Amino acid sequence: MLNLHSSLYPITTISILRNTIADHRDLDPFAEADEDTGETKQTQNYIHIRIQRGIVLAYNANMVPERNGRKTLTTVQGLPKKFDQKKILKVIKKKFACNGTIVNDSEMGEVIQLQGDQRKDVQEFLIDKKEGLELDAKTIKVHGF
């Protein structure tokens, strides 16, 4: 433990240490760091595309598992408010032949959920200038295995 007794350290050193600690209270340790400057920035400006994997068991009439399949769920979070998520979902479902829904989350807001691994397709759709949303590729983060 650091002993900051006044006889060991002058008062100016103690006040500098206190000010340094107080300066770091507002920093978010989980915020993304900027590659150029090293400063942290909030992750709310990013569009996150994530995947979840689940295991589904199919049983026969005797309740014996016949097969197990892997179902995946792709989530898209953080789309700008200027876009209508229902229309985006409708286009994605038709274009990529998958089902999906919009889920309201208390922390994340509206999140689009799609069946299957649609990460690459959704990323290309968000960036595409011809048929997509023309978003900047730097604002999209793709997560998953």
- In terms of Cβ atoms closer than 10 Å to its own Cβ (0-12, 13-18, 19+), residue 14 is middle
pLDDT the model gives residue 45:
86
Q: Measure the CA–CA gap between 81 and 70, rounded to whole angstroms.
A: 33
32-33 vs 40-41, strand pairing mode: antiparallel
103 pLDDT exceeds 80?
Answer: yes
- Range 83-87 average pLDDT: 96
Domain boundaries, the chain: 11-41, 45-142
Range name among 27-31, 57-61, 75-79, 136-140 with the lowest pLDDT average? 27-31
- pLDDT tens across 12-61, in order? 555 555 555 555 555 555 565 555 555 545 545 899 999 999 877 777 77
How confident is residue 115, by pLDDT bands cut at 50, 70 and 90? very high
Percent of all residues in the chain with a pLDDT value above 90, rounded to a whole number? 51
Spatial neighbors of 114 by CB under 8 A, at least 6 apart, are 73, 74, 75, 76, 92, 93, 96, 98, 99, 100, 122
How confident is residue 82, by pLDDT bands cut at 50, 70 and 90? very high
- Range 115-130 average pLDDT: 96
**For residues 63, 69, 70 and 72, what is the CA-based torsion angle, rounded to 10 degrees?**
-90
C-alpha distances (whole Å) from 11 to each of 5, 17, 22 are 9, 10, 17
Q: Domain 45-142 belongs to what architecture?
A: 2-Layer Sandwich (3.30)
| 8 Å CB contact between 57 and 65 | yes
